[in-house]
Amino acid sequence: MKLKFGSVEENVVTREEFPLEKAREVLKNEVIAVLGYGVQGPGQALNLKDNGFNVIVGQRKGSKTWDKAVSDGWVPGETLFELEEACERGTILQFLLSDAGQIALWPTVKKHLTPGKALYFSHGFGVTYKEKTGIVPPADVDVILVAPKGSGTSLRRMFVEGRGLNSSYAIYQDATGKAKDRVVALGIGVGSGYLFETDFYREVTSDLTGERGTLMGAIQGIFAAQYEVLRANGHTPSEAFNETVEELTQSLMPLVAENGMDWMYANCSTTAQRGALDWWKPFRDATKPVFEALYDSVKTGKEAQKSIDSNSKSDYREKLEEELKELRESEMWQAGAVVRQLRPENN
Ligand SMILES: NC(=O)C1=CN([C@@H]2O[C@H](COP(=O)(O)OP(=O)(O)OC[C@H]3O[C@@H](n4cnc5c(N)ncnc54)[C@H](O)[C@@H]3O)[C@@H](O)[C@H]2O)C=CC1
Ligand SMILES: CC(=O)[C@](C)(O)C(=O)O
Ligand SMILES: [Mg+2]
Ligand SMILES: [Mg+2]
């Protein structure tokens, strides 16, 4: 249906409009092969299975995630296969390897993309940056996208709680005339709360911006900046952490999630409201040039290239883990660990 977001009309698909029974009907003759069992793989595969679809998982045998798949209930030789065998058996191939990992597996996937199959992504990365990835799908398959707007961990948790994370959907290529039904059915099947329409280019550029920006990069940056200023001015770690992170995640963000920013403001003191209303614009103005530089780096393909280069190295996991460790061991997040332990529900 068409829905107005502010003054802009967009296409969205809700569960009421496209119920699960319809999705099951659309996909009743399909074998959905989920390739890769990292973060999105388990979330999407388990939700699909619990929703009654015909799902198999493809993963490298002998890997840690193969064992995880087994412990999640996937049965080797029945619903769990080596990647190539899964590519052969699947009629819909859900390409859920890491974006860099997809480059290495592409020749295998391509080989098994016989006419009428569907190639499914959860990111516009592979085909948008085809000059860098070499991922150019054959003309006689559907190429579709469902991108859950959040971690696969949340996708699964929210599904189990009876909620639903929202996703975007897109069609890059409709070879069978059934791409729209297939993509929407899959979007509903993986547990999306609702779906909003996009295209591959807009999905990847917005997603890369979001995760580098307010969702992950910028938020750690402003946390660190405020924490450092508080500490430099004699505040204790617990005070600095509480005033920077804990209050935000525990008290204020849930209010924003519930009913918007003005609602959160309205539930704080008039002292806080006065100050926040005075200061949000200087913060916007100070950071906007950084966001512009970021978007430019995304648009020119620099961010994609960096991600491919570093995540294609054989020791990419260890390298990432080293940097995550640095974050974890920073005073701010060490203080956070103690603060979390002190939450009454955690002891
Ligand atoms: N992590 C998330 O929650 C989200 C991910 N996405 C997208 O979903 C897709 C999958 O992402 P993640 O689940 O984060 O992937 P991931 O980084 O967890 O990797 C998935 C699997 O790929 C395997 N892999 C990596 N390189 C390989 C190679 N060369 N050969 C064979 N297997 C290899 C890993 O062992 C892992 O099992 C990506 O396109 C990503 O951008 C989209 C939304 C959120
Ligand atoms: C969770 C999500 O949607 C991200 C941040 O874009 C990703 O994991 O790539
Ligand atoms: Mg992303
Ligand atoms: Mg994302």
In the structure, ligand 4 is a single-atom ion and the residues with CB under 5 Å from it are: 207
When pLDDT is averaged across residues 210-222 and rounded to a whole number, the result is 98
CA of 164 to the centre of ligand 3 (A): 18
Mean pLDDT estimate for the chain: 98
- Confidence class for position 347, pLDDT limits 50, 70, 90: confident
Whole-model pTM over 0.90: yes
123 is catalytic: yes
Ligand at shortest distance from the CA of 148: 1
Ligand at shortest distance from the CA of 98: 1
Q: Is 36 left (phi over 0), alpha (psi -120 to 50) or beta?
A: left
Q: Is 296 left (phi over 0), alpha (psi -120 to 50) or beta?
A: alpha
Just give the CATH number of 2-198: 3.40.50.720
CA of 227 to the centre of ligand 1 (A): 32
When pLDDT is averaged across residues 193-198 and rounded to a whole number, the result is 98
**In this structure, are residues 119 and 147 in contact, taking their beta carbons and an 8 Å threshold?**
no
Looking at residue 266, its pLDDT comes to: 98
Annotated binding residue 207: yes
When pLDDT is averaged across residues 165-189 and rounded to a whole number, the result is 98
Looking at residue 48, its pLDDT comes to: 98
**In this structure, are residues 146 and 178 in contact, taking their beta carbons and an 8 Å threshold?**
no
Domain ranges for the chain, please list them: 2-198, 213-346
Two tokens, residue 318: 């260890």
Reference 53, options 45, 61, 42, 43; nearest CA is 45
Q: Which of 49, 117, 123, 231 is catalytic?
A: 123
pLDDT over 90 (residue 238) = yes
When pLDDT is averaged across residues 173-194 and rounded to a whole number, the result is 98
CA of 312 to the centre of ligand 1 (A): 12
Q: pLDDT tens-digit profile of 97-141? A: 999 999 999 999 999 999 999 999 999 999 999 999 999 999 999
